[in-house]
Structure 1
Amino acid sequence: MAKEEPSADGKKSLLLRIDSALHDALRAWADAELRSVNGQIEYILREAVRKHLGKE
């Protein structure tokens, strides 16, 4: 497997396959919060990790 290098902004890519209904719900949520779907997913994951690590 090839080693993945972060982009210039320090981010890595991730292929994510999700149900179309879930994507539609994420799109609506992202639109309501003025984010892209990618930005919304990143926000949700960041908050979940923060809570998991006890940094509430």
Structure 2
Amino acid sequence: MKQSGGQGQFVDISITVRFETLEAGSGYEFKSEIIRGAVPRNYNPGVMKRLEECISSG
């Protein structure tokens, strides 16, 4: 869990990541598609950062 706000405020988010092939050398594309509920968009940079770490380490 990650603390999301003031003292005692936490969030637990389950995500599904889908990978699709892009043209070689074109990097990656990040899309956020919220299906249920309302997840603040300010979580996207943290998710993108972690995905970049995973991509760089294989």
On whether the aligned pair clears a TM of 0.5, the verdict is: no
Higher helix share: 1
TM-score by length of 2: 0.31
Higher strand share: 2
